[in-house]
Structure 1
């Protein structure tokens, strides 16, 4: 799943307005205009000719931009947190899967417990144990770390839409 697609689904699930998207990107350290946000939220078509013609109409969201958005979402939802002594001002970018980062950062931003996340996935028709979820939320290099596949990420966003939009 592409970062742009994840952003589109996340925006829908949490009912985030375009002006709030600009603010969230800004809180994450990325300056974008409302027009650029609309270009980021444009679904890219897989047709090669279409992409060549409308390349300037779509802005690809890279991993750093996406992670900055998620950091901004945390600040937007929970407020600015003062860094502890010895901690960097800006969070460092992770080298792990985008889907794992998505689950971790949304858990923080929305103040979700593991049970909440299991319920969200369950509402989308996915059954996951607490141990499996824990493996998805671990740091890369941990012996129990498991990379999050698109299936879990897609269904987590679907479950969020069910929970937050009903």
Structure 2
């Protein structure tokens, strides 16, 4: 699963319009025009793609790639969009944090930031995963939500992220 797939599935689950995506990116301190947002969500035409017939699990190809920085900016913007801008005790806005260091950590960051944006508890996340037939323990979830340098950190695989986004769709769209 690539970042474009993650963005597209999150957009669908939360019923976000293209104009809202532009606004969310802006809240995440990244200016992305409407046309570019549409290209991030548009798959390439099949006639333009060289497809390996034997590779049934190949990733979707989009007109424009969503980089890790773009996805994390979107997730930061989603937190501000859903919960408001966080302010320090002095009244100044808190600076956005970008914690994505490696592409392998994208799913962990996605889970953490969506959890914060939607004010979900660990129990809510477990219920969302359970609704899709994925059963993990509280300890496993805790390991996925830890910082990368923590000794009990565990990488979140595409399966968990995909099912989490599918569970969000079930919860918010009732599908």
Moved over 6 A (4+): none
TM-score when normalising by structure 1: 0.89
**Residue among 131, 145, 153 paired with 2:139:** 131
> Could you say what the CA RMSD is over the residues aligned between the two structures, in angstroms?
2.0
User: Does the 8 Å contact 2:12/2:169 carry over to 1?
Assistant: yes
**Displacement after TM superposition at 1:82 (Å):** 1.4
User: Does the 8 Å contact 1:120/1:160 carry over to 2?
Assistant: yes
Q: Which residue of 2 aligns with 1:58?
A: 63
Q: Distance in 1 between matches of 2:89 and 2:64?
A: 35
Q: Distance in 2 between matches of 1:44 and 1:164?
A: 28
Structure 1: 5+ residue stretches without partners: none
Name the structure where helix makes up a greater proportion of residues: 1
Structure 2: 5+ residue stretches without partners: 51-61
Q: Which residue of 1 aligns with 2:95?
A: 89
Q: Distance in 2 between matches of 1:161 and 1:149?
A: 19
User: Does the 8 Å contact 1:83/1:89 carry over to 2?
Assistant: no
Q: Distance in 2 between matches of 1:119 and 1:81?
A: 27
Q: Which residue of 1 aligns with 2:85?
A: 80
Q: Which residue of 2 aligns with 1:119?
A: 127
TM-score when normalising by structure 2: 0.85
**Displacement after TM superposition at 1:88 (Å):** 6.5
Q: Which residue of 1 aligns with 2:160?
A: 152
Q: Distance in 2 between matches of 1:44 and 1:146?
A: 34
**Displacement after TM superposition at 1:51 (Å):** 4.5
